[in-house]
């Protein structure tokens, strides 16, 4: 039984670290774009995204994989799936 619990704890730790890495990547990436890029892409402004992702990262670190941690991960994935591609498309033109 201990082996199963240890395996579960190890998997949970790996998932937490992977999701934390996603949150860190999203936050750092949001800092790299100019404010004008956010406006040109028609998204929330840079400051708003930095606050959202910074708070989300803090929640992840403090609360782990609880319900608020899941909400924080969703914020990071929304940024990565919607905002980052819109910002990236501006540079390709």
Buried-exposed string 15-30: b where 16+ CB fall within 10 A, e elsewhere: eeeebbebbeebbebb
Output the pLDDT for position 92.
Answer: 60
Model confidence over 44-79: pLDDT tens digits?
999 999 999 999 999 999 998 899 999 999 999 999
Q: Is 50 exposed, middle or buried (0-12, 13-18, 19+ CB in 10 A)?
A: middle
């Amino acid at each position: 039984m201990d082996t199963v619990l240890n395996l579960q704890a190890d998997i949970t730790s790996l998932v937490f670290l992977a999701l934390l890495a996603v949150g860190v990547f999203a936050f750092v990436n949001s800092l790299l774009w100019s404010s004008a890029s956010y406006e040109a892409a028609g998204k929330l402004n840079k400051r708003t995204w930095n606050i959202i992702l910074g708070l989300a990262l803090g929640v992840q670190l403090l609360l782990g994989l609880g319900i608020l941690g899941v909400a924080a991960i969703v914020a990071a994935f929304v940024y990565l799936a919607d905002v980052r591609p819109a910002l990236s498309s501006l540079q390709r033109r």
